[in-house]
């Protein structure tokens, strides 16, 4: 029977790995800098209708790198995570429509400014709210950690409004449009651009922001000074040779193309699915890859914890209990942020988002697995151990030959359950910038504002994959019971 389980596990592993092979591979030649960006901040940073990451920031960076001769790769994530990644030395620089503020200058060194901005406010298109006084008692939606949020926090008591926070701009806009909140504060050029692209909001400031500000590229204070100098040098070059103006006009001139994609493509679920096929597939590949690696490693780690949990040695049992208790009790998102942002900030050791993501899955799912594995072994009738020992088997032999095989059989349903949970949990890793299925959905919604259709597609894809996983697991379960 034990052999049966092994064969089944190996078969399942290979089946999963086959799926994992669809996942995007890291390129062979590593670029020299990692630069984070705001995933959803049109016209500065966003995905175009061919799912390419573009925008004023991205085009400027590309030309600046060319002019100054450096290479880089971009990691789009939430604005807050993009800034934190640099503050914790996980990334070398950040270009995220970032306003240069005195507060931020304490943590970051900024480049010369590359665009003028300022905080403005917007309401839903047909809102009756006209002045800040009308905000009294109402809720304002803000994006975490932004200059717009900071401004609103400052005037909140004066105008008597309440605040709700989201991590990306599109969710903020949706919240205001859906009427859960009545207004938002953000960069004037961004709000204007969003309205021009058909988002049902109204900018209330006209053309005059509350306070003028400037956008800049940032590195961690005192670090990556070469990159900063190269950025400034490249910026000066492209301002001089006209490339800068060309880029800005490409996005902001009167006849600039909109970025939403054609109306036809966005009207139906099928249209959205086929015009974003590549992005969905690549997101799914990454989700599958994380799931497969996560499941295999978490199961091995969980098995080890479980076996340690029934050890004769008290210390080994205590270690297992502590590890299970710690990581089962920690919200997964907190663990992901701790590993990706907290730990490197403390130690200076860089961890890639992918490694941090896998570690998060392994520690979290492994703790749950460890708990049910220990439970499974403990629920094997005590008489079995006694019988095995009385036949002359040592404790280790009895565990290996009698208890573990019977326990594993009892655990199969729990394993299946944990596999499905692992697959769903990978979606949380979008928060640290892993471009899996959920993050792919966010990027597409930002561009086409088709929240219902895009999230319906993403939900369907998860359901299909979970169904496949369940079928496979049921097959494994049947084999192990045969
Ligand atoms: N302009 C915003 C800020 O600096 C950045 C953003 O929302 N991407 O806070």
Pair 434, 286: CB distance under 8 Å: yes
DSSP one-letter string for 358-402: HHHHHHHHHHHHHHHHHHHHHTS-HHHHHHHHHTT--HHHHIIII
Q: Distance from the CA of 2 to the center of ligand 1, in angstroms? A: 57
Ligand 1 contact, 120 CB (< 6 A) = no
Ligand 1 contact, 19 CB (< 6 A) = no
Pair 341, 84: CB distance under 8 Å: yes
Take residue 82 and report the two structure tokens written for it.
Answer: 């993009």
> How many other β-carbons are positioned within 10 Å of the β-carbon of residue 273?
16
d(CA 368, CA 119): 46
Ligand 1 contact, 99 CB (< 6 A) = yes
- Locus of tokens 């992005």: 279
The per-residue pLDDT for 261 is 59
pTM for the model stands at: 0.76
Substitution candidate for ligand 1 out of 81, 146, 215 with most atoms within 8 A of CB: 146
Contacts 24+ apart (CB under 8 A), 452-461: 453/266, 453/268, 453/269, 453/272, 454/272, 456/269, 457/269, 457/272, 457/273, 457/280, 461/280, 461/284, 461/437
Identify any residues that bridge with 162 across adjacent strands, giving them in sequence order.
139
The per-residue pLDDT for 6 is 40
Q: Is 443 helix (H, G, I), strand (E, B) or coil?
A: helix
Ligand 1, residue 117: give the atom nearest the CA. Answer: 1
Ligand 1, residue 143: give the atom nearest the CA. Answer: 7
Ligand 1 contact, 98 CB (< 6 A) = yes
Substitution candidate for ligand 1 out of 35, 78, 95, 96 with most atoms within 8 A of CB: 96
The per-residue pLDDT for 474 is 84
Ligand 1 contact, 76 CB (< 6 A) = no
Take residue 183 and report the two structure tokens written for it.
Answer: 């207004």
Mean pLDDT per 10-residue section of the chain, whose length is 482 residues: 43 39 40 89 86 92 96 91 92 96 96 96 95 96 94 96 92 91 96 88 88 94 96 97 95 75 72 89 94 96 95 94 96 93 84 92 97 92 88 88 87 90 94 89 82 92 93 83 64
Ligand 1, residue 169: give the atom nearest the CA. Answer: 7
Domains detected in the chain = 31-114+217-260 (3.40.190.10), 117-213 (3.40.190.10), 275-481 (1.10.3720.10)
> How many other β-carbons are positioned within 10 Å of the β-carbon of residue 412?
20
Ligand 1 contact, 79 CB (< 6 A) = yes
d(CA 55, CA 42): 6
Ligand 1 contact, 38 CB (< 6 A) = yes
Q: Distance from the CA of 98 to the center of ligand 1, in angstroms? A: 5
The per-residue pLDDT for 259 is 65
d(CA 186, CA 196): 15
Nearest CA to ligand 1 atom 5: 98
């Amino acid at each position: 029977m034990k052999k049966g389980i092994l064969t089944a596990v190996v078969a399942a592993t290979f089946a999963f790995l086959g799926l994992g092979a669809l996942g995007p591979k890291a390129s062979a030649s590593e670029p020299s800098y990692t630069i984070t960006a705001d995933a959803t901040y049109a016209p500065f940073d966003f995905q175009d209708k061919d799912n390419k990451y573009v925008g004023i920031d991205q085009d400027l960076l590309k030309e600046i790198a060319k002019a100054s001769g450096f290479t880089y790769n971009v990691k789009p994530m939430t604005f807050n995570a993009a800034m934190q990644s640099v503050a914790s030395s996980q990334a070398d620089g950040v270009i995220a429509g970032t306003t240069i503020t005195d507060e931020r200058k304490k943590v970051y060194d900024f480049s010369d400014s590359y665009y003028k901005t300022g905080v403005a406010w917007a309401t839903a298109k047909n809102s009756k709210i006209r002045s800040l006084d009308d905000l009294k008692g109402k809720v304002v939606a803000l994006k975490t950690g932004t200059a717009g949020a900071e401004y609103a926090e400052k005037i909140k008591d004066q105008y008597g409004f309440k605040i709700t926070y989201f991590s990306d701009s599109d969710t903020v806009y949706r919240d205001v449009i859906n009427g859960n909140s009545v207004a938002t504060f953000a960069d004037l050029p961004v709000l204007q651009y969003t309205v021009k692209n058909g988002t049902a909001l109204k900018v209330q400031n006209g053309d005059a922001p509350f306070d003028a500000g400037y956008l800049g590229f940032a590195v961690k204070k005192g670090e990556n000074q070469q990159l900063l100098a190269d950025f400034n040098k490249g910026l000066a070059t492209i301002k001089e040779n006209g490339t800068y103006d060309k880029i800005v006009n490409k996005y902001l001139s009167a006849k600039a193309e909109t970025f939403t994609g054609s109306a036809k493509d966005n009207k139906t679920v099928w249209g959205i699915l086929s015009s974003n096929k590549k992005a969905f597939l690549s997101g799914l590949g990454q989700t599958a890859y994380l799931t497969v690696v996560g499941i295999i490693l978490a199961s091995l780690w969980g098995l080890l914890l479980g076996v340690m949990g029934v050890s004769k040695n008290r210390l080994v049992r205590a270690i297992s209990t502590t590890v299970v208790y710690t990581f089962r009790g920690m919200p997964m998102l907190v663990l992901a942020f701790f590993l990706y942002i907290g730990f490197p900030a403390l130690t200076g050791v860089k961890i890639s988002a992918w490694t941090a993501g896998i570690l998060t899955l392994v520690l979290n799912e492994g703790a749950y697995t460890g708990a049910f594995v220990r439970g499974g072994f403990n629920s094997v009738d005590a008489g079995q151990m006694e019988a095995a020992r009385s036949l002359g088997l040592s404790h280790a032999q009895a565990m290996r030959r009698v208890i573990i095989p019977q326990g594993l059989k009892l655990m199969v349903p729990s394993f299946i359950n944990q596999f499905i949970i692992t697959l769903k949990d990978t979606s949380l890793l979008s928060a640290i910038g892993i471009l899996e299925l959920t993050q792919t959905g966010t990027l597409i919604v930002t561009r086409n504002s088709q929240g219902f259709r895009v999230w319906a597609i993403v939900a369907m894809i998860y359901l299909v994959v979970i169904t496949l996983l369940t079928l496979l697991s049921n097959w494994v379960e049947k084999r192990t019971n045969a």
